Amino acid sequence: MFNLCLGILIGIGGAWLYLQPGPVAWYAWGLFAAGAAAIAFGFDVLIGSYREDERRAAWMGIGIFGGLGFLMILAGWALTF
């Protein structure tokens, strides 16, 4: 269920980029795709580490990969305007 919600959010972000009035640069698409993959990987690390009862590794994983992905998406969003 969680992967479905994450996929829906990534799809909404991609649709938002596609519907921009002006052309979106290729590197903004690349940053969005790489950021979405990093966030998905960060949540995968979070869930997997919690299942293995490694709470510190879980939060470090989501902090590193999710934070990096968030910054990539933010940079791609800033480059569209």
Q: What is the mean pLDDT of residues 26-53?
A: 91
Instruction: With respect to residue 50, please indicate whether it lies within any of the assigned structural domains.
Output: yes
In this prediction, residue 53 has a pLDDT band, given cuts at 50, 70 and 90, of: very high
Domains held by the chain: number = 1
Instruction: With respect to residue 80, please indicate whether it lies within any of the assigned structural domains.
Output: yes
23: left (phi over 0), alpha (psi -120 to 50) or beta: beta
pTM summary value: 0.81
Spatial contact of 34 and 72, defined as CB atoms under 8 Å apart: yes
Question: In sequence order, which ranges of 1-81 are alpha helices (DSSP H)?
Answer: 2-18, 26-51, 55-61, 67-79
5-19, 24-38, 61-75: range with lowest mean pLDDT? 5-19
The pLDDT score that the predictor gives to residue 8 is: 87
The identity of residue 46, as a single letter, is: L
Q: Is the pLDDT of residue 62 over 90?
A: yes
The pLDDT score that the predictor gives to residue 51 is: 93
Residue 65 lies in domain: 26-81
CA dist 43 and 3 (Å) reads 9
